[in-house]
Amino acid sequence: MGGCFSSNQDANDAKQLPKKDYWEKGSYPHHPSILISDEFKFGDNLDHKGITFTKDVETAHGVVQFSFRELATATKNFCIESFMGEGDFGCVYKGRLERSGQVVSVQHRHRTCDQGIIEFFKEVIKLSLFHHANLVNLIGYCAYGDHLLLVHEFVPLGSLKDHLHDLLPDQKPLDWNTRMKIAVGVARGLEYLHKTSNPPVVYRDLKPSNILLDEGYHPKLSNFKLGKHTPFDNITSFPSFRVDGTYTHCAPEGPIIFDSDVYSFGLIFLELITGRKVIDYTRPYEEQCLVYWARPLLKDRKKYAEMADPLLEGRYPPERLKEALVVAAMCIQEGIAARPDIRSVVAALTYIASSTYDPNA
């Protein structure tokens, strides 16, 4: 399949993958430039000597090598009914694995997405190293001819963007306790990437659409951008301001260091508190940029109540609101040195979220 289905396409116009083109030769064909086999190796020229992508490595890292047939079956041949949306690298489909019955998310990348087979396998290895409750888990992969697929756990409640900025008419807004729960989870996911993962990782693309919500509104970071043009052993180093992340959520210095993620988190936290988008051209000119609107108000604690999302209808603890806005203000400081470490952010938010709001009290 060369392109992605548009969400506006009529189902009758959707073209399914022709089985005969992909299934006749078995699980893995001989690619013109590389053989996908148990002996596939990364050479010394790829900056990480001694890594051999074999079944032993797959077992050690907990990823599964799926056949294209299995993923096509899981997604009903990548039909329009399974289509969930289009990401940065390709289309995403919902599927159910026959082997286990597990519901999964299948990201289908065509080789025209400017990612070669070597970069794809490097990404699989890197993603397989991350295991945390607040990260979307990689289950497996498939490399079949020109088709590269990543299989992740399915996160059922959609994105934070869906629940914060794209509410349906009959959909209830997030309450205060849920917003704080989401903020803590996102911060913990970043803390893992910055402080625990080996190697440490700058997330670089924190935005509401990349924060997925599991049952109970448990947040998980998705859509990692692991620096496909950077060395494997130095994936946190970005010498130039090439915006791989989303411009609206980038720090002034660009998405290049851990402190940049803290700035982006501050914007997300402000969105959770205020209900406003980072950029909203439907608002008056002086209110279109969340940061420029918020900074003057953050200097006057008497105006903090004006910043709370009107959809909360006053149902929040005033003292916790003030504390939350102080944390957000610290995170969005223009000066890198003035921003808190993500570990300090987690500690502060854990305290704030521990004081749950009871509207009936």
pLDDT > 60? residue 29? no
Q: Which residue range(s) make up the domain with 142?
A: 11-153
CATH of the domain at 16: 3.30.200.20
In a shared domain, residues 334 and 221: yes
Query: Measuring CA to CA, how many Å separate 136 from each of 37, 117, 355?
Result: 27, 22, 27
Give catalytic residue positions.
205
Asked if residue 2 belongs to a domain, the reply is no
In a shared domain, residues 36 and 102: yes
Domain end (from 133, 153, 173):
153
Is the pTM here over 0.85, yes or no?
no
- How high is the pLDDT of residue 302? 93
Q: What percent of the chain has pLDDT over 90?
A: 61
pLDDT > 50? residue 281? yes
Mean pLDDT of the 21-39 span = 31
In a shared domain, residues 148 and 172: no
pLDDT digits (tens, 9 = 90+) for 236-255: 333 323 334 456 788 888 77
The bridge status of strand 103-110 relative to strand 147-153 is antiparallel
Mean pLDDT of the 74-89 span = 89
Mean pLDDT of the 267-272 span = 98
Domain end (from 132, 153, 174):
153
- The vertex-195 CA angle with 255 and 122, nearest 5°, equals 65
Asked if residue 359 belongs to a domain, the reply is no
The bridge status of strand 147-153 relative to strand 83-86 is unpaired
Asked if residue 3 belongs to a domain, the reply is no
> What's the structural domain count of the chain?
2
Residue type, 30: H
pLDDT > 90? residue 328? yes
Going by pLDDT thresholds of 50, 70 and 90, the confidence category of residue 35 is very low
- The vertex-163 CA angle with 357 and 319, nearest 5°, equals 25
In a shared domain, residues 123 and 149: yes
- How high is the pLDDT of residue 129? 87
In a shared domain, residues 205 and 145: no
- How high is the pLDDT of residue 226? 58
